[in-house]
Amino acid sequence: MVGSSSTKQGLSSWIGAATATRTTVEFDKNVAVSGGDSPSHSDNFTDVNLGFGERAISAAGAAVLSAILVNPLDVAKTRLQAQAAGVPYDSLCNLGHLNSNTVLTGVKYNSSGTRAVLGAEPTCSPECFRYKGTLDVFYKVIRQEGFTRLWRGTNASLTLAIPSVAIYLPLYDIFRNSMEEYTLRNIPIATPYVPLVAGSLARSIACVTCYPVELARTRMQAFKDTKNGVKPPGVWKTLVGVVSPVNSVNRYQNSMQTYRLLWTGLGAQLARDVPFSAICWSTLEPVRRKLLGMVGDEARATTVFGANFSAGFVAGILAASATCPLDVARTRRQIENDPERALRMTTRQTLVEIWRDGGFKGFFAGVGPRVARAGPSVGIVVSFYEVVKYCLSHRRMHRQSEGADL
């Protein structure tokens, strides 16, 4: 058990909570969290002894692995949501002169799939450029743009994921450990709600800090490259493209107003990410505590990985399904190219617009790839992060043990 003199030390605080045998507080009727006169996290040799830097390195490695593996599903989800918002994919066969970042606000499709606004008949079947689902996105992107386009925006994903996850997960650990220690001593009944509060708070900080890169990633994935042989814009050029049209319009010369565009859709992002984190951690913590409680002192790196991946997979699917309407709203806010409209629109207005355009079905555009991405993504990130922390803690414990023997 954590904190004993056994060689099976160094597990995370949530393993110690799952196996504690002292005075307890009921956690979801199945999991016990140590309380009363039991030692705090700082009294045990657990992951609480890891510094922020060690946690950040663990999280960054998890973010890199996840971003590379699940990026194609992210591209599919964004394309389906952008198509529902009116991004013209179906008529690009005869509109090669359009810039790859062009969004025609208010474009509507007629029953045949052509754009009546432009009055142009496509030179090929409208279905050639109309996405019908996740697999159809994969097939058409590979055929029309090349296999590597499924990893479009990966550089933005990595640029975003490394600092974002490196802030998010360590802050979650720190908030959770300190809040659990406080509630166990003062408000035991509030302990089960600590993951919800800690996850929401940590995600809010990470989201606000790294949001412009998130905006760039969505735009890079949403728009199709129409110029053959021309390298598509990267993160920096994409962000410059967001603010440069504004600089040429007199009524938007205010620099603060201009750079507010880099946080376009932040409200929608927070409206999606905060509930996602709350649902995710509220589900993940009791599930993994129960799984690790079954293992007890026999926990190894493989069982830590398995328990965290399983819990993260389930939690990611539930959270992604529940927050899909807010994800659709966030995507629509981020791909809007009209500066005045982008600054004026609110998340509530965007949700009303989605309902007007697509009804209930519109709220779940791209739900398939979103759910398929979230399960393994959360599982990979959390399990990799916890295994690296476990190994670092175990290594530190071993060094301290050797020092004590000397």
CATH number for the domain that contains residue 216? 1.50.40.10
Would the pLDDT of 380 be above 60?
Answer: yes
Q: Which residue has the higher pLDDT, 313 or 15?
A: 313
Predicted confidence at residue 319, as pLDDT, reads: 95
* Domain of 336, in residue numbers: 51-405
Average pLDDT of the chain to the nearest whole number = 75
Alpha helices (H) in 150-228, listed in sequence order: 154-186, 194-222
- Mean pLDDT over 31-58 rounds to 52
Long-range contacts of 356-361 (CB under 8 A, 24+ apart): 357/84, 358/84
Residues 6+ apart with CB under 8 A from 191: 25, 27, 33, 35, 180, 183, 184
pLDDT band, very low/low/confident/very high, at 27 (cuts 50, 70, 90)? very low
Considering the domain boundaries, does residue 33 fall inside one? no
Considering the domain boundaries, does residue 30 fall inside one? no
Of 33, 46, 70, give the one whose Cα is nearest residue 386: 46
Assign 323 to helix, strand or coil. coil
Considering the domain boundaries, does residue 140 fall inside one? yes
- DSSP E strands, 196-316: none
pLDDT band, very low/low/confident/very high, at 229 (cuts 50, 70, 90)? low
Considering the domain boundaries, does residue 195 fall inside one? yes
Would the pLDDT of 198 be above 90?
Answer: yes
Q: Which residue has the higher pLDDT, 189 or 24?
A: 189
- Mean pLDDT over 104-127 rounds to 46
Amino acid at 131: Y
The pLDDT tens digits for 142-158 are 888 888 888 877 777 77
Angstrom distance (rounded) from CA 343 to CA 144: 34
Considering the domain boundaries, does residue 118 fall inside one? yes
Please give the tally of structural domains in the chain: 1
pLDDT band, very low/low/confident/very high, at 371 (cuts 50, 70, 90)? very high
Q: Which residues pair with 26 in a beta bridge?
A: 32
Q: At 234, list the tokens.
A: 């990267």
Q: Which residues pair with 258 in a beta bridge?
A: none
Angstrom distance (rounded) from CA 328 to CA 259: 23
Residues 6+ apart with CB under 8 A from 87: 103, 222, 223, 335
Would the pLDDT of 268 be above 80?
Answer: yes
pLDDT band, very low/low/confident/very high, at 124 (cuts 50, 70, 90)? low
Considering the domain boundaries, does residue 77 fall inside one? yes
Considering the domain boundaries, does residue 8 fall inside one? no
Predicted confidence at residue 92, as pLDDT, reads: 45
Would the pLDDT of 96 be above 50?
Answer: no
pLDDT band, very low/low/confident/very high, at 310 (cuts 50, 70, 90)? very high
CA 266, 272, 274: angle at the middle one, nearest 5? 95
Angstrom distance (rounded) from CA 152 to CA 89: 16
* Cβ–Cβ < 8 Å for 374, 366: no
Would the pLDDT of 364 be above 90?
Answer: yes
Would the pLDDT of 18 be above 70?
Answer: no
Q: Which residue has the higher pLDDT, 174 or 62?
A: 174
- Mean pLDDT over 361-375 rounds to 92
Residues 6+ apart with CB under 8 A from 65: 380, 381, 384
Angstrom distance (rounded) from CA 379 to CA 371: 12
On whether the pTM is more than 0.75, the answer is no
Predicted confidence at residue 224, as pLDDT, reads: 67
The pLDDT tens digits for 166-181 are 899 999 999 999 999 9
Predicted confidence at residue 246, as pLDDT, reads: 52
How buried is residue 243: exposed, middle or buried, by Cβ count under 10 Å (0-12/13-18/19+)? middle
Amino acid at 107: V
Considering the domain boundaries, does residue 186 fall inside one? yes
Q: Which residues pair with 27 in a beta bridge?
A: 31
